[in-house]
Structure formats: structure tokens, C-alpha cells
């Protein structure tokens, strides 16, 4: 029985070893995403990975009024490491290195930034989930995005 379990475990390890490897751009983030709550909305759009980069834009608003916007990039460096570059409303860019990644989950962190210090994206089925927080998890803000057009 032990040998059978070891064989199954080894097979699963081989099956999943090519997924979620360090340095892979999170192509599962690609698309146009929308969260609506009453007349409030938040949108994010992420391009397909190309040239070691994904480009994202986000905006929030209420009714027809734009409240905030942001330009983002996820970049793969020559050493394979990933970083998220975020520039709210065209301001200075803050860099968040990747701290954890899985098959459909990625977290970035910069403990020297005021807020957020941690940014996480993950998929739950067809939904895109996002969370920003301090390093200790406090002041968490969460989003549940559906594919736009649904």
C-alpha cells in the first residue's frame, strides 16, 4: 500500500510540476473584470502575457463618476522573478515583489509602502478575487470580480 501511495504521489507531483512555476506570468488574470455593488463599480483589465509583461488598468466609480484609476504592470525580470508595478492616478510607481504564487493565486508585498503593503489575486472558478492589506492582514479590502459582460 505504501508503494502505491508513493507512486500516486509521484505521479501527481509530475502532473502538477509544470504549473504555477516561479517566474510564470499569471495568464489566468487576463481579461476584463467587473465588480458592481448598487451604483458603485470597480473594473480591472489585464492583457495577455507578452514580452515578459502583463499590463493592467483599473478604475472605480459611482454611477457615471470616476473616483480613482490606476495603471499596473506585472514584469518578469531576467532572473525569472516577478514584480507588480502600481501607479495610482498616474503618480509615482510602487514596486511589489512576488512573495507567493500558485497555479491560480499570486501575492505581492512591499512592507515599506504605506498602504497597501500586500496585494493578492486568485481565482475561484470563473471569478477573480483580489485583496489589499497591511503585512499583518489588517485593513483588508476585498473585491470579487466577474468577467465583464455577464
Residue 66 falls inside a structural domain: yes
Full residue range of the structural domain in which residue 53 is found: 22-147
User: What CATH number corresponds to the domain at position 69?
Assistant: 2.40.128.20
121 falls within a domain: yes
CA proximity to 82, closest of 112, 107, 46: 107
1 pLDDT band, cuts 50/70/90, is very low
Per the structure, how many domains does the chain have? 1
Return the sign of the alpha-carbon dihedral for residues 62, 64, 67, 70: positive
The answer to whether residue 33 is domain-embedded is: yes
Mean per-residue pLDDT over the chain, rounded: 88
In-domain check, residue 4: no
H or E segment and range at residue 124 = strand 118-124
From the number of C-beta atoms within 10 Å of its C-beta (0-12, 13-18, 19+), residue 67 rates as exposed
Q: First vs last Cα of the chain: how many Å apart?
A: 48
Residue 16 lies in a domain: no
Give pLDDT tens digits for 16-75. Answer: 333 445 578 999 999 999 999 999 999 999 999 999 999 999 999 999 999 999 999 999
**Percentage of the chain with pLDDT > 90?**
82
Report DSSP letters for 58-81, one per residue: EEEEETTEEEEEEEEEEEE-TTS-
Residue 92 scores a pLDDT above 90: yes
Amino acid at each position: 500500500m505504501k508503494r502505491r501511495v508513493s507512486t500516486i504521489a509521484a505521479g501527481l507531483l509530475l502532473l502538477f510540476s509544470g504549473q504555477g512555476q516561479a517566474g510564470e506570468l499569471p495568464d489566468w488574470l487576463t481579461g476584463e473584470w467587473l465588480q458592481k455593488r448598487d451604483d458603485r463599480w470597480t473594473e480591472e483589465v489585464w492583457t495577455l502575457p507578452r514580452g515578459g509583461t502583463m499590463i493592467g488598468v483599473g478604475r472605480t466609480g459611482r454611477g457615471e463618476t470616476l473616483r480613482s484609476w490606476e495603471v499596473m504592470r506585472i514584469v518578469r525580470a531576467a532572473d525569472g522573478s516577478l514584480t507588480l508595478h502600481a501607479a495610482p492616478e498616474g503618480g509615482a510607481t510602487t514596486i511589489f515583489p512576488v512573495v507567493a504564487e500558485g497555479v491560480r493565486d499570486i501575492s505581492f508585498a512591499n512592507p515599506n509602502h504605506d498602504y497597501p503593503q500586500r496585494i493578492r489575486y486568485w481565482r475561484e472558478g470563473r471569478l477573480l478575487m483580489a485583496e489589499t492589506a497591511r503585512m499583518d492582514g489588517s485593513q483588508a479590502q476585498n473585491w470579487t470580480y466577474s468577467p465583464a459582460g455577464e
